[in-house]
Amino acid sequence: MRIPHSKKPLALAVLCLCTTLAPATAAAQAAQTPPVAASQVQAGERLSAYLLRNGLLPSVVNSETYYLPGLQFRQASALAQHNLQRTQLLTRLFVQLGGHNNSYSELVQQLPATGRLVLPGTADAEYLSLRPELDPRLAPGDEVVLAGQPNYLLVLGDFGYCQVPYHAGVEAPAYLQACNASQADTAWLVQPTGTVHRLNVGIWNVGPQVLPMPGAWLLAPGRGSAVTANTADQFAAFLATQGAAQLPGSFSVGKWVVPVNRAVFQQAASAAPLRSSPVSSSTWGWVGLMQTPTARMRPAGSASFTASRVEPYSRYSIMLQPFDWLEGGFRYTKITNRLFGPAEFSGDQKFLDKNIDAKLRLWTESSYVPEISVGLNDVGGTALFASEYLVASKRFGNFDTSLGLAWGYLGAAGDYSSPLGFISDKFDNRPASNVGQGGELAAETYFRGRTSLFGGVQWHTPWDKLVLKLEYDGNNYQSEPLANPQEQSSRINYGMVYRVSPSVNFHLGVERGNTLSVGISLFENFSTFNTPKVSDPKPLPVTTGPRPQQVDWKQTLQRLQQQTDWQVNKVEQRGSEVKLNVRNGDAAYYSETLNRAAEVLHQDLPENVKWFTMNYENNGADVGQHVIDRDKFVVRRTEYGLLDNNEKAEQAAIEGYNFPYRTVHEEPTEKFTNKFALGFRQVLGGADGFLYQFVLANDTRINFTKNTWLEGRLAYRLIDNFEKFKQVGVSRLPQVRTNLREYAVTSDFTIPNFALKHMGKFADGHYYGVYGGLLEQMFAGAGGEYLYRPHNGWYAVGVDINKVRQRAFEQDFDLQNYEVNTGHITAYVDTGVEDILATISVGQYLAGDKGITVDFSREFNNGVRMGAFATRTNVSAEDFGEGSFDKGIYMTVPFSAFFTKSIPGDANFLWRPLTRDGGAKLNRGFSLYGQTEVRNPKTLEYRP
Amino acid sequence: MIFRMLLLLLAAPFLQACSNLGGAVVSAAQAYYAGKNPPSYASTPLSPQYIYLEVQAPNSSALMVLASEHSPAQGSGLVETWVSASQELLRTRAGFVVGSQGVPNLFESATLQFNPEGQVQGMVLNHPGLGIHQVQLNLLPMALDSIPLKNTALLARARQVNGLVLQAWRGQLAAQHSNSTASPRLQALNNSLHVVGTHPNTGGLVYGLYCQQEGQCIEYLRRTAAQNL
């Protein structure tokens, strides 16, 4: 349909879809003679159909007449809600601003409640027609309102309002400056599409900007405004219902108007896009300048690997950021002018030290206050580089400055006495670290002794990839560990970071005035880590209309397996519910996999089936169910705006019922599986350097009953450099883990495990498992486990008891003499705080020692987990040996995040400073907690 | 990406536990290869019921079908909407790309402008992905030998049409954006290349090319069962 060109570019066109007009709105009242006649309403038609009938398409209509980004689809049914929204906003403004005599309240009072339903994306009718889930359906009383394209933006602030001409390519801070509103730190950009963006616009927090469109609203309460951020959020949400920015005709323009400083745009139009301040690693791996830390942190979920070289130190660091306020990790420091030990023991291997560091943010940056962090260096190692510091960072646009005070290694110049000396004389002197076996926290030395100032500045140059750094070092390098002083001709270090890619940095600089510093760091935010799933089967379309009356279950289950990898061995029905028994099913993300299952079932099952239930049967035990509400599923996939966001999602996790079901289809259970796999392992940080081994493995499983099975692995050494593996484990305890070398090199062909297992369920939430055979590489025996895990519960409790005997080094069926009873009582607690899961187990370990293991981990919404654990037992630090007690840091990442295909399971990255015999647990290869993971209340919340 | 792979390698001791991992590695390799070598539709049988547009973009390709034609408010030439099986959408008018949805890195909509003689002289362009809204580009006709026009497989097939008429234009920011010529955001649109190949008799679209920047091009070939280039 051809749309005639309007002679009134800014006239409003109201396309009414109703025979009875919607309640009059200010916008409707302001409308001029519509250039398009009202079309006939077709009850229940889609918005796309209406727009197509009227030819309202991008590139087809003249945007001066019909500005499609400002299109308002107004629902009569939403008017009452928007009236309430406006009243609530006015009340908040009244309370916060002490009355209605202000520009905000006066404007809100004049703006109409529109009932606008904000579209999730574009208003391109032809695209909407391809995506019914984005295409709202029109009802009697609804309106479609289209205005011409405005050529201005409206800036709202404590000062009043300001109508600024639109300039293509210009960022929000320039508009604020033109209205003299540049004292704001945050601005709310409300596009005419209804999309709201919260923009950082202060000199200390500015970052990449979303550009305003013509007709955008910019809400910018000034620094220290009485309008809180929450109120501004609510204000912006209300403005989103208004379409392209315009002031109501009755608004008292003169009272609040602010003149526009147009000169601003001369510069702003040619300015480079605003940027965040880059956060980069120091030579130590933690975020900082070169030798000195800053108070900055990477986003939660980040991890980095940094390798650096500053004579005589080579440092290899891995740092994790489990929370916005905590950075922690470990490091290997190689001192290349010192040997690992006597030549007859370690040859020419250089001295290697292991460090654990932590940095905690105490205060976040704001307009006038810097970000402040406190850090501990080398807390869990030999304390050769032990240091503590307090540091503050403040940003000024492209410059990020920091100033700190360090104790210990980083403040070794000792320029100042301790500022804590007034508390106690103990703080004046730093006692020598009693490192003992290493690994203990040398808390008696923390924040003690003389201090030095350190600090510096980072400049993000106009060349986006280049960052320059300049710092004042707190160390004079005269008290280096192992009597290794270094010449220093200047305490000013300087260097550059070249940002090769978004996840790779190169570092180059000069330290001590005479020493080259080079490094590379790799980093990634794993909380948003994902790979597009281009190798997954294409999702099936969800359509409405007649469904088949008959089901070919064999074919349907085949299609279900293609889409989900789930094997269904039984289908039952009760009334309008169909229940599928998923045997030993797993999923990378259950919510996504359920959607795929629902697509298949919706396509193949008759209309009278309203509920799809997935019953998960793991090794014969029912561990939980997910139920899909078919009607809601179809509505969500084929309609827009009908399901309230607060409405219960169509997927639900339930315990399951014992109602009688009618079996409609059964598949035989798989009796036998066999597959090959490639295995790899490495040994790091010992006297023999880096050791690796590749093995070819063959895994077999034989199912005797649905609850009982035999599983085993055969392995063959393919390639390794274990001929260099000379370090023999020594221990004062029974050698339950330190015979690592013997188990690795004695035989080429091994049987890592071969065990008969059985799993069952006493009652809902009560699970048990028993097993016996070659349980792991080093131990054989028998045991059992019981777990109580309430459905959707925040905790679980389990107990395992095992009697095991040490296996022969050949890893065949022979056994050695050492025998032990081992087992633990374990509690799993979802703390509800910052997504922290705490696992605490108490019991007897493999060496017969008794104690407790505590594990804290933070889980992100995509399933990535970062955590740390420590075990203390009744073994003394001397008997335990180097490291004093068992501990480690780990990260798990869903395999699915790495690949183009969805697969279940996690990649585990574990760093344990040393393998010792104390605090060692049996690797049972079977965990009821893992088997019942579907009972986790977060199962349906995980998203890629 | 490097860090991801390094992490996967470090995590390798545990990888053997995942039976599907081998399949995932193979799938990823296949996807990588497919991304580097997008499929050609040269020999795909065409239905006489439809009009097709074969599209080649960096690391992807598609065979689209003409879904609709619209007469715009101003100027000459219909706006044609093409749709792929993956729900990507491309719009052309007078041989120029004037819009898209679901096509990575391509602008969302543009309105062509014509001079009184009916010749294309500019476009107003929206590219929300780059934060660009309502930017006026002048389209300056260029001699074919002055532009880096590669003889791609698609162009070679287009040249099977005897007397194919090829024309080229350079996009330049209009005067009202002159202050913005240094802005990197708008610079992304400056010097864009537009090539249109039309049939010598009918004047209908045969071939088109749009390069927002060098190496960031999309080219398209109109095909029917009757004229299967």
CB B199, CB B159: distance < 8 Å: no
Chosen for mutation from B20, B84, B107, B189 (greatest number of chain A CBs closer than 10 Å) is B20
Residue A516 has pLDDT above 80, yes or no: yes
From B8, B14, B16, residue closest to A697, measured CB to CB:
B16
Token pair 């019922």 is found at A657
**Residue B179: per-residue pLDDT:** 60
Q: Shortest CA distance to A599 belongs to which of A530, A536, A662, A664?
A: A536
**Residue A19: per-residue pLDDT:** 28
From A565, A899, A904, residue closest to B27, measured CB to CB:
A899
Confidence of residue A40 (pLDDT cuts 50, 70, 90): low
Chains A and B: how many Cβ contacts under 8 Å? 208
Can you give the C-alpha Rg of chain B in angstroms? Answer: 21
A586-620 per-position pLDDT tens digit:
999 999 999 999 999 999 999 999 999 999 999 99
Cα A335 off chain centre by: 36
Tell me if chain A has a CB within 8 Å of the CB of B194: no
Element (H, E) at A633: helix A630-638
What does the block give as tokens for B55?
Answer: 């599209």
Residue A744 has pLDDT above 50, yes or no: yes
Chain B residues with CB under 8 Å of A695 CB are 16
Lowest mean pLDDT among A358-362, A871-875, B11-15: B11-15
Mean pLDDT of the B155-168 span: 94
- Cis peptide, bond prior to residue A112, ω within 30 of zero: no
From B4, B14, B67, residue closest to A898, measured CB to CB:
B4
Q: Shortest CA distance to B7 belongs to which of A788, A543, A241, A895?
A: A895
In DSSP terms, A329 is beta-bridged to A319, A357
Cβ distance B177 to A523 less than 8 Å, yes or no, reads no
Give CA–CA dist A410/A576, Å, rounded.
70
Give me the phi and psi of B149, to 5 degrees please: -90, 115
Cβ distance A60 to B79 less than 8 Å, yes or no, reads yes
**Residue A21: per-residue pLDDT:** 29
Percent of chain A with pLDDT over 70: 92
Chain B residues with CB under 8 Å of A714 CB are none
Cα B225 off chain centre by: 22
**Non-local CB neighbours of B182 within 8 Å, separated by 6+ positions:** A270
**Non-local CB neighbours of A933 within 8 Å, separated by 6+ positions:** A939
A684-725 per-position pLDDT tens digit:
666 677 788 888 999 999 999 999 999 999 999 988 888 777
Mean pLDDT of the A277-290 span: 97
Give CA–CA dist A868/A876, Å, rounded.
22
Name which residue leads in pLDDT, B3 or A196. A196
| Helical axes A553-564 vs A590-604, angle rounded to 10° | 150
What's the longest Cα–Cα distance across chain A? 99
Chosen for mutation from B14, B69, B92 (greatest number of chain A CBs closer than 10 Å) is B14
**Residue A4: per-residue pLDDT:** 33
Name which residue leads in pLDDT, A484 or A350. A484
Percent of chain A with pLDDT over 90: 69
Closest CA of chain B from A900, distance in Å? 5
| Helical axes A229-239 vs A79-97, angle rounded to 10° | 150
Cβ distance B131 to A210 less than 8 Å, yes or no, reads yes
**Non-local CB neighbours of B80 within 8 Å, separated by 6+ positions:** B66, B68, B69, B91, B92, B93, B205
In DSSP terms, A197 is beta-bridged to A189
| DSSP 8-state secondary structure symbol assigned to residue B148 | -
Tell me if chain A has a CB within 8 Å of the CB of B78: no
Tell me if chain A has a CB within 8 Å of the CB of B60: no
**Residue A29: per-residue pLDDT:** 34
Confidence of residue B190 (pLDDT cuts 50, 70, 90): confident
Give CA–CA dist A903/A895, Å, rounded.
6
Task: Report ipTM (2 d.p.).
Answer: 0.91
Mean pLDDT of chain A: 89
CB A145, CB A27: distance < 8 Å: yes
Name which residue leads in pLDDT, A8 or A143. A143
A311-341 per-position pLDDT tens digit:
999 999 999 999 999 999 999 999 999 888 7
| DSSP 8-state secondary structure symbol assigned to residue A939 | T
**Non-local CB neighbours of A575 within 8 Å, separated by 6+ positions:** none
From A61, A127, A303, residue closest to B101, measured CB to CB:
A127
Chosen for mutation from A2, A60, A720 (greatest number of chain B CBs closer than 10 Å) is A60
Chain A residues with CB under 8 Å of B110 CB are 59
Strands (E), A118-216: 143-147, 152-157, 160-165, 186-190, 196-200
pTM: 0.89
Closest CA of chain B from A502, distance in Å? 10
Q: Shortest CA distance to A760 belongs to which of A932, A916, A922, A611?
A: A932
Closest CA of chain B from A636, distance in Å? 18
Mean pLDDT of the A129-156 span: 91
Give CA–CA dist A51/A122, Å, rounded.
13
What does the block give as tokens for B215?
Answer: 């190496």
Cβ distance A130 to B89 less than 8 Å, yes or no, reads yes
A6-33 per-position pLDDT tens digit:
333 333 333 433 322 233 333 333 333 3
Token pair 């986006």 is found at A464
Tell me if chain A has a CB within 8 Å of the CB of B186: yes
Residue B32 has pLDDT above 50, yes or no: yes
Give CA–CA dist A793/A937, Å, rounded.
7
Lowest mean pLDDT among A149-158, A714-723, B23-32: B23-32
Tell me if chain A has a CB within 8 Å of the CB of B127: no
Chosen for mutation from A59, A463, A909 (greatest number of chain B CBs closer than 10 Å) is A59
From A61, A131, A522, residue closest to B87, measured CB to CB:
A131
**Residue A499: per-residue pLDDT:** 97
What does the block give as tokens for B214?
Answer: 């060098």
Give CA–CA dist A218/A177, Å, rounded.
12
Residue A734 has pLDDT above 50, yes or no: yes
Cβ distance A895 to B24 less than 8 Å, yes or no, reads yes
Cα B146 off chain centre by: 21
**Residue A686: per-residue pLDDT:** 66
Closest CA of chain A from B162, distance in Å? 31
In DSSP terms, A16 is beta-bridged to A143
**Residue A349: per-residue pLDDT:** 80
Closest CA of chain A from B11, distance in Å? 5
Cβ distance A127 to B181 less than 8 Å, yes or no, reads no
Chain B residues with CB under 8 Å of A698 CB are none
Confidence of residue A1 (pLDDT cuts 50, 70, 90): very low
Cα A871 off chain centre by: 27
Tell me the CA distances in angstroms from A757 to A708, A716, A775, A783, A852, one per residue in order. 6, 24, 10, 10, 27
Task: Report H helices in A72-124.
Answer: 79-97, 103-110
A221-239 per-position pLDDT tens digit:
998 899 999 999 999 999 9
Closest CA of chain B from A879, distance in Å? 29
